[in-house]
């Protein structure tokens, strides 16, 4: 889609008017979308959660500017949400921004009876300017063709969102377990029950301890997690055995998470291209397909010491 857009913009946006309008959009820090529909979350109607998220994710495929850092989508009934393009930032960044937007005015300033913020404006907002474009007939054909492709992609998205209220992280902590590790083990079990096999899995970990640090990979599919999952499927295993394996797997996950945060868990994928890289243990990893991204990769951590012995690049 990006290739098609790049080609079309090079053909149809050469004129001064079109070029200036496109440049104004592309140089903007973000895009605010004023949607003409209403959206609402009804606690007792879980279908509204999926509808709302689907609207934020792809909408109608034409009511947003997807090639952008992030979009603030405001609906007709004053409900809003955010959508971010992943290459520049990760989920916690947008979560913190959204929390700041929702909380700052409410906590620090309050509102007048008419709904406006008590705080005085420090700058005068710039008036909106309408962007003008000259769209020829061939360009319209390209737009409709792209829209058809985008709709096929959006219709192929399976999305089901629902609130889970049976318990939360508070209960998990009483088990002296990491809530994150507990969830990751649950995902491993669910995936195995659904697919009948384990998959390469990763979970993103923030590397904020380092300047310009972004993320490192946590290997969620480990030897310990596989042992726990198999025990859950084995009728001869007792609940005590399963709980012991669960605790061991969560401890292993937390250990990997800490190593990733401190950059100790480095992925030596570069070594796969070395001529002397002939170990049958690792060659399948170089050619493996990543089938799961909910945060599946394989557990090669335990073999890093062997890799380091074989390969010590001077640079």
Q: Report yes or no: 30 and 72 within 8 Å, Cβ to Cβ.
A: yes
Residue with tokens 């992280």: 169
For β-strands 70-74 and 80-84, DSSP reports them as antiparallel
- Token couple for 160: 């089901």
- 111 forms bridges with which residues in the sheet? 117
Query: What is the DSSP-derived secondary structure letter of residue 4?
Result: H
Q: Report yes or no: 281 and 204 within 8 Å, Cβ to Cβ.
A: no
CB neighbours (10 Å) of residue 274?
12
Active-site option among 23, 58, 86, 191: 86
- Token couple for 51: 């509808």
Q: Report yes or no: 41 and 75 within 8 Å, Cβ to Cβ.
A: no
Q: Cα–Cα distance between 45 and 39 in angstroms, integer?
A: 13
Q: Cα–Cα distance between 237 and 105 in angstroms, integer?
A: 54
Residue 301: active-site member: no
SS3 at position 73? strand
Instruction: Tell me which residues are annotated as active site.
Output: 86
């Amino acid at each position: 889609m990006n290739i098609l857009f790049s080609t079309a913009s090079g053909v149809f946006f050469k004129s001064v008017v079109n070029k200036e309008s496109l440049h104004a959009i592309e140089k903007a820090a973000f895009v605010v979308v004023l949607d003409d529909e209403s959206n609402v979350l009804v606690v007792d109607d879980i279908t509204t959660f999926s509808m709302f998220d689907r609207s934020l994710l792809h909408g109608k495929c034409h009511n947003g500017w997807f090639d952008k850092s992030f979009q603030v989508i405001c609906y007709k009934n004053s409900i809003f949400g955010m959508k971010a393009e992943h290459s520049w930032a990760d989920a916690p960044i947008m979560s913190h921004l959204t929390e700041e937007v929702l909380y700052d005015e409410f906590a620090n300033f309050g509102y007048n009876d008419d709904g406006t913020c008590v705080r005085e404006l420090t700058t005068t907002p710039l008036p909106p300017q309408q962007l003008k474009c000259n769209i020829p007939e061939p360009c319209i054909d390209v737009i409709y063709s792209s829209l058809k492709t985008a709709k096929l992609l959006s219709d192929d998205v399976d999305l089901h969102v629902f609130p889970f209220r049976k318990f939360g992280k508070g209960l998990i902590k009483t088990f002296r377990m990491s809530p994150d590790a507990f969830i990751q083990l649950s995902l491993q079990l669910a995936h195995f029950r659904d697919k009948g096999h384990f998959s390469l899995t990763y979970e993103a970990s923030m590397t904020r301890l380092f300047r310009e640090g972004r993320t490192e990979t946590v290997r969620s599919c480990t030897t310990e997690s596989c042992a726990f999952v198999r025990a859950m499927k084995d009728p001869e295993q007792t609940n005590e055995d399963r709980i012991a394996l669960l605790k061991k797997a969560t401890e292993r996950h937390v250990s990997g998470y800490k190593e990733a945060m401190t950059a100790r868990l480095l992925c030596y994928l570069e070594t796969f291209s070395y001529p002397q890289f002939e170990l049958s243990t690792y060659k399948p990893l170089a050619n493996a397909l990543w089938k799961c991204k909910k945060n599946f990769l394989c557990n090669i951590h335990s073999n890093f010491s062997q890799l380091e012995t074989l390969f010590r690049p001077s640079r």
